[in-house]
Amino acid sequence: MGQRSDGERNVSEPAAVEARDTVKTFGAGEQAVRALDRVSLTIRRGEFFTLLGPSGCGKTTLLRLIAGFESPTAGAILIGGRDVTAEPPNRRPVNTVFQSYALFPHLTVAQNVGFGLEMLGRPMAEVRATVERMLALVKLEAMAGRRPQQLSGGQQQRVALARALAPAPQVLLLDEPLSALDLKLRKEMQGELKRLQHETGITFVFVTHDQEEALTMSDRIGVMSAGRLLQVGPPREIYNRPVNRFVADFIGESNFLPGRVERGAVRLGSGDLVSVPGLPPEGTAVTIAVRPEQVRIGAAGEPGTIAATLTDAVYFGTDTHCHLALADGAEVVARLQSPPSGEIGLAPGARVGLRFAEGAVQVLGD
């Protein structure tokens, strides 16, 4: 079953998951910790939704509330339009894949995948057919008779996914399932997860602190910090139009330059004026943000550029990061595509002129 586009969605369908003014507090009195602070969120059916944020931001707590492993202090959790706030995990149409795959070492791959179906009392013929289908889905048919300890980390993760998908849950919850894998395998599994989500049409709710995972895999992202949901949107919107400095800083890299509104532009500490739309009143102190790939380097003294000095150039293979100092010492990083030679033709101490791509500069709040 393929995933439908937004244009094909039935707007009358209830959301896959809703959190309504959800609060979760651990402890009491002076020792109380508010892990979630009035979080409201709607996750659409059939989408790959990612909760993204640093450790301790509340994303795993929210996932556990959806799964039923924790109960909210206030608010409600709905799945498929049904209020499940008071229902135990086994009554909810969800399954969870954890960081540790939790496979049964004494069972074969096929037995692990079929275990949940057997516990649900499904007929053995149905169990066998479903196991075969799930193993084909995760491309592990040849491993059906092996034990978990005979598999690689990536293969074990595929078994855990197959086991979680076998009962055809409405929602699959994934709690940083790629964190134990090495970088190369992690990237391979990112593609596999997206393929599985697309082929099954099941709603995936994925938790990670890895911005690259979120950007490459998600239909939409919810960025969290300190128990609050700061911004929800498609990856391009989150990256290109962050709502505040935290989101801009957490998603990718950004240059932040303080200034003050003057003559319909922003006067930087270097004395240069930068044109930015939608500015607050004259004299307001602001911070502008621009991504490194939106910084252009030209010749020193070129009209319309900001004078800068190259302090360092760091080679990253496909990219070279140029560290530039403005007249007041403020640093700007420009990300340039590396030429075939790997040399950008500039040495530390070189005087250059920089400009920002049109529409790339934003004024951000705290």
Residue range 92-131, pLDDT digits in tens: 999 999 877 788 999 999 999 999 899 889 999 999 999 9
* pLDDT per position as a tens digit, 265-318: 999 999 999 999 889 999 999 999 999 999 999 999 999 999 999 999 999 999
Q: Which two tokens stand for residue 280?
A: 């607050």
Report the Cα 216 to chain-centroid distance in Å.
8
State the pLDDT confidence band at 6, using cuts at 50, 70 and 90.
very low
Phi, psi (rounded to 5 degrees) for 292 = -55, -35
Per-residue CA distances from 277 to 185, 289, 362 (Å) = 43, 13, 8
pTM passes above 0.85? yes
Amino acid (1-letter code) at residue 81: G
Query: How high is the pLDDT of residue 151?
Result: 92
Query: How high is the pLDDT of residue 197?
Result: 92
For 190, the enclosing helix (H) or strand (E) is helix 183-200
* pLDDT per position as a tens digit, 174-208: 998 888 778 888 888 888 889 889 989 999 999 99
Q: 146-159 as b/e, with b when 16 or more CB fall inside 10 Å? A: ebbeebeebbbbbb
Structure-token match 């179906």, residue found: 117
Domains of the chain by range and CATH?
6-246 (3.40.50.300), 253-364 (2.40.50.140)
Tally of CB atoms within 10 A around 270: 19
Query: How high is the pLDDT of residue 12?
Result: 65
Q: Which long-range contacts (CB under 8 A, 24 or more apart) does 265-270 make?
A: 266/363, 268/306, 268/326, 268/328, 268/330, 269/326, 269/328, 269/330, 270/306, 270/307, 270/326, 270/327, 270/328, 270/330
Amino acid (1-letter code) at residue 25: T
Strand-pair category, 203-208 with 171-175: parallel
Query: How high is the pLDDT of residue 8?
Result: 42
Q: Which two tokens stand for residue 37?
A: 């602070």
Query: How high is the pLDDT of residue 187?
Result: 86
Strand-pair category, 171-175 with 74-79: unpaired
Per-residue CA distances from 90 to 57, 84, 310 (Å) = 27, 11, 60
